A and B are shown apart, each in its own frame.
Chain A
Amino acid sequence: MSALLKVRNLSRHYGQRIGCEEVSFDLHPGELLCIVGESGSGKSTLLNTVAAQLSPAAGNVHYRQRDGEWLDIGSLNEADRRRLAREEWGFVTQNPRDGLRLNVSAGANVAERLMALGMRDYGQLRGIARSWLERVEIDPARIDDAPTGFSGGMQQRLQIARTLVTQPRLVFMDEPTAGLDVSVQARILDLLRRLVNELGLAAVMVTHDLAVARLLAARTIVMQGGRVVETGLTDQILDDPQHPYTQLLVSSVLTT
């Protein structure tokens, strides 16, 4: 099978400090890849650089778009990058307040990305918004409520609906379950797991939680100090970690 995304020798620096350094990986269609590591390991920097939200110091990202053509993300102009973000990609932020528009209704939050693609029929937009609220287990009766009145877990589910409604081919997720209660986390993880399978999404997800990687990702990248220290099948990495840092991460997890 041919890749959807090719990242080669990607680096991003903050002045003298390394954000991420010389990172390479491929992502295949329908595959969820986790990037794990502690705070400051460079995993969010990597995610944002791959998603073209930060510009790289070196290296490149190639993406195979819907029509089969390969795009060099670094050489795209701003308008093309926006088109890609609108039509083919999605981004789920850790804090749903960063990914939602808080002053418009839940329904409008979901419908907005469809409207950006040119859908105009009000009844149709409302129908799709309603069905997506149901899919992420939000009572459709709340369709006209602003998300400011939602709990953190509901806001995150709304952000997921808003992101996935356009059926993106590639989704970037930055710690989508961090900062939520464990029971709420389980619900969101189950939801993501189901939607990723149903929609055949490819996704890159940053998490510091190895159990999340085990549950969702077939492959995992381990980062430390901005560099990839280990990569492979998630179960290999968690059950037979090779690198000292991965061994430390795995042995530090509490099991119940």
Chain B
Amino acid sequence: MNTTLILELRDLSKSFELHHQHGARLNVLRGLNLRLHAGECVVLSGASGAGKSTLLRVIYANYRPSYGTVHLRHDGRWIDLAKASPHEVLEVRRRTLGYVSQFLRVIPRVPTLDIVAEPLLQAGADVHDARQRAGGLLHRLNVPERLWQLPPGTFSGGEQQRVNIARGLIVPRPILLLDEPTASLDIGNREVVAQLLAEARAAGSAVLGIFHDEDMRDRVATRLFPMQALEAA
């Protein structure tokens, strides 16, 4: 296996301070260390409430860490996302760090094909190539072509999830964060996602994900990272 270190979390902590709930403080992550290498697929395991989704969001810089560092390799140099400027974070997300959640954020009136193609356009591809790649991915994920020109707002949960996966994977990024992207997919489509992830890993990407389905987890994980809920503070 390729052993290039690509992401390193050191002493990472995250608490939420709820100012309007009598200043309640929720400690979700404390002193977490994790190293992720190119070609790996590390699956976060642990009961609901263990902080798995929070961890992915902290790495994506969607949540701001309370303490610790999120170092990742971007364009051949190391950058600490915990301290990066908003513009740096956007640049890292555009090309290095992908995130696929369980839910598609639907944009009114925007057709499925364009929703999928958008990240590739933002990464600098031209419209024709981006749409072609988007169509290719939607095709592999069994989203029927007659739906491509429709906004996905009225699609089923499984269809929306596949659109979301296509959007999340269309730019080949070195690090992929996946928060239960296959929760509402049937076996056939899970298999497609597993293949897409295997291809991404073969191309050198590292995957860090949450998969509750055990078959899926066994199919994709190269290593498990166990997590536990912290005691009430």
Which residues does A use to contact B, with CB under 8 Å? 1, 28, 186-187, 189-190, 193, 197, 215, 218-219, 232-233, 235-236, 239-240, 242-244, 247-248, 251
- Give B83-115 as 1s and 0s: 1 = Cβ < 8 Å from A's Cβ atoms: 000110110000000000000000111100000
Interface of A is mostly: helix
Q: Say whether B128 faces chain A, with CB atoms less than 8 Å apart.
A: no
Q: Say whether B227 faces chain A, with CB atoms less than 8 Å apart.
A: no
Query: Which residue of chain B is the closest to A31 with respect to CB atoms?
Result: B87
Total contacting residues, chain B, CB less than 8 A: 19
Least Cβ–Cβ distance between A17 and chain B, in angstroms:
26
Q: Which of B62, B64, B86, B110 contacts A190 (CB 8 A)?
A: B110
Asked whether A247 lies within 8 Å of B18 as measured between CB atoms, the reply is yes
Query: Which residue of chain B is the closest to A245 with respect to CB atoms?
Result: B19
Q: Which of A1, A232, A242 contacts B86 (CB 8 A)?
A: A232
Query: Which residue of chain A is the closest to B109 with respect to CB atoms?
Result: A190
Asked whether B90 lies within 8 Å of A187 as measured between CB atoms, the reply is no
Asked whether A215 lies within 8 Å of B62 as measured between CB atoms, the reply is no
Query: Which residue of chain A is the closest to B63 with respect to CB atoms?
Result: A240
Which residues does B use to contact A, with CB under 8 Å? 16-20, 57, 61-64, 86-87, 89-90, 107-110, 121
Least Cβ–Cβ distance between B27 and chain A, in angstroms:
15
With A239-B62, A240-B63 already in contact, the answer to whether A233 and B90 are too (CB < 8 A) is yes
Report the bound CA distance from A197 to B107 in whole Å.
15
Asked whether B64 lies within 8 Å of A240 as measured between CB atoms, the reply is yes
Least Cβ–Cβ distance between B54 and chain A, in angstroms:
10
Query: Which residue of chain A is the closest to B90 with respect to CB atoms?
Result: A218
- Rank and list the top 8 A-B pairs by shortest CB-CB distance, nearest first: A244-B19, A186-B108, A240-B63, A190-B109, A233-B86, A247-B19, A219-B86, A235-B62
Query: Which residue of chain A is the closest to B105 with respect to CB atoms?
Result: A214
Least Cβ–Cβ distance between B69 and chain A, in angstroms:
17
Least Cβ–Cβ distance between B52 and chain A, in angstroms:
16
Asked whether B109 lies within 8 Å of A240 as measured between CB atoms, the reply is no
Query: Which residue of chain A is the closest to B16 with respect to CB atoms?
Result: A240
Report the bound CA distance from A197 to B87 in whole Å.
17
Least Cβ–Cβ distance between A183 and chain B, in angstroms:
9
Report the bound CA distance from A232 to B19 in whole Å.
19
What residues of B have a CB within 8 angstroms of the CB of A187 in the complex? 109
What residues of A have a CB within 8 angstroms of the CB of B89 in the complex? 233
What residues of B have a CB within 8 angstroms of the CB of A242 in the complex? 17, 64
